[in-house]
Structure 1
Amino acid sequence: MLRELKSALTRCQATLWQDALGATSLMVLLIAGLHLPALI
């Protein structure tokens, strides 16, 4: 299983940072959306 994970990470290394950035931006939007009603 670790060999398969390592192989998958090696194949998608070029887009890994883009995926991480997308996941981070989704979390920021979720947190902002949850706190928005408290500001109004």
Structure 2
Amino acid sequence: MMTQIKIVLSRSQDTLLQDAIGAASLLVILLVALHMPGAY
């Protein structure tokens, strides 16, 4: 299991940062949307 994870991480090293940035931006969008007041 750990060997497979290491292999996957080594193969996707160049896109790992882009994926992390994308996940962080989705989290920020979600948090901002949850804190917006509702339009009643």
TM-score normalised by the chain length of structure 1:
0.90
**Identity percentage of aligned residues:** 50
Q: 1:1-39 deviations in whole A, cap 9, x for unaligned?
A: 00000000000000000000000000000000000116x
Structure 2, unpaired ranges of 5+: none
Flag as ranges the 4+ runs of structure 1 deviating above 6 A: none
Q: RMSD value over aligned CA atoms?
A: 1.0
TM-score normalised by the chain length of structure 2:
0.90
